[in-house]
Amino acid sequence: MVLFVLSNGRKTSRIGFTSQRSAGSAVKRNRIRRRLRALFSDFAESMTPCGDLILLGKKPILTEDWDQLVRAFRKLLLRAGCLKKQR
Residue 63 CB-density burial (10 A; 0-12 exposed, 13-18 middle, 19+ buried): exposed
The percent of residues above 70 in pLDDT, for the chain, comes to 97
- The domains of the chain are located at 2-80
pTM of the model: 0.82
Q: Residues near 11 by Cβ (< 8 Å), separated by ≥ 6?
A: 49
What is the second-level CATH architecture of the domain 2-80? 2-Layer Sandwich (3.30)
For residue range 41-71, what is the model confidence (pLDDT) as tens digits? 988 888 888 889 999 999 999 999 999 999 9
Q: Is 44 helix (H, G, I), strand (E, B) or coil?
A: helix
| Residues forming beta bridges with residue 54, ordered by sequence position | 4, 16
